[in-house]
Amino acid sequence: MSEGNTPQVIRSGETPGSKRLFHSERSIALIKDKTIDAGYGYLTAGTVMAVNTTTSGLIPYVPTGLAAYGTFAVAPALSDLASTATTIVVPLATIARFKAGDNLILVRNNGGAQALHDGGAIVSAVKTTDYSATITFTTALDTDANFTVANFASCFVEGDASTPFTKAVYILDKDCNTGEGEAALGANVSVVISNAILYTTSLVNWDAAAVTDMSAVTDGQHTILK
């Protein structure tokens, strides 16, 4: 905490910076330039990415099961959804993720079990207050009263056409800022596809399903992309 406006040095916890991603030489990896959809804020190198089924832009991969809740990959509901709802209220910071025509997936945790609902195409995403936005989707909930804040109701843009509607395809090669709120623009990035040995602890949202999706091999502290 600052002790006034005089020149001073305040010592606090220091970190060495971003974790090293590559164990193998980066120059031999298969790397491709891509574009990330807007609204996901600051993403670090090693973040696992899926592909928006509508725009083909990149979006963060959503971890499977209960690991999904509370991550930057999903937008949490700010209020309970009605049992046959076609709207969900989310933080305004996430509004740029949700564009008309993209497919919306709703997810919740009810008693330790995950449930998914395919909301179909997004109709609109509009600012409702200084901190919230309302997303309207096509396919109503099927008399399900369990999509509540207490059950961690959340939503994300579809990253695969089949359940669980997300699939790990790429890994970010560098840090980037996709922006937040109504003015977010997305980011141009490079991604790792294959022929690389990565440090597993540097991978973000990496799970067993992602290992399968990318046909990767876990070897001690390393993840091998063939």
pLDDT digits (tens, 9 = 90+) for 38-74: 999 999 999 999 999 999 999 999 998 766 777 889 9
Number of domains in the chain: 1
- Look at the block and give the residue holding tokens 């919740």: 108
Residue 170, strand partner residues: 49
Residue written as token pair 């991550």: 71
Q: What is the pLDDT of residue 6?
A: 55
For residue 191, being part of any structural domain is answered with yes
User: Sheet harboring 222-225: ordered strands across?
Assistant: 196-199, 222-225, 217-219
pTM: 0.88
Whether the predicted pLDDT of 76 surpasses 70: yes
- Closest of 71, 70, 69, 47 to residue 58, by C-alpha: 47
- pLDDT for 67: 65
In a domain, 199, yes or no: yes
pLDDT of residue 7: 57
Phi-psi map region of 165: left, alpha, beta (phi>0 left; psi -120 to 50 alpha): left
Residue 2: pLDDT above 70? no
Q: Is the pLDDT of residue 131 over 70?
A: yes
pLDDT over 80 at 112, yes or no: no
What is the percent of the chain with per-residue pLDDT over 70, rounded to a whole number?
91
Tokens of 44: 């670090």
Tell me the C-alpha to C-alpha distance, in Å, between residue 85 and each of 152, 183, 199, 210.
Answer: 16, 28, 42, 31
| CA-based nearest residue to 97, from 33, 185, 34, 166 | 185
213-226 in b/e burial notation, b at 16+ Cβ within 10 A?
bbebeeeeebbbbe
Domain assignment of residue 126, yes or no: yes
Q: Residue 124 pairs with which residues in a beta bridge?
A: 136
**Residue 7 within any structural domain of the chain:** no
> And the tokens for 53?
């089924």
| Per-residue confidence band for 199, with pLDDT thresholds at 50, 70 and 90 | very high
Domain with 189, as residue range(s), is 26-225
* Residue 10 pLDDT level (bands cut at 50, 70, 90): very low
Looking at residue 111, its pLDDT comes to: 75
Burial class of residue 55, CB neighbours in 10 A (0-12, 13-18, 19+): middle
Cβ-contact 61, 49 below 8 angstroms:
yes
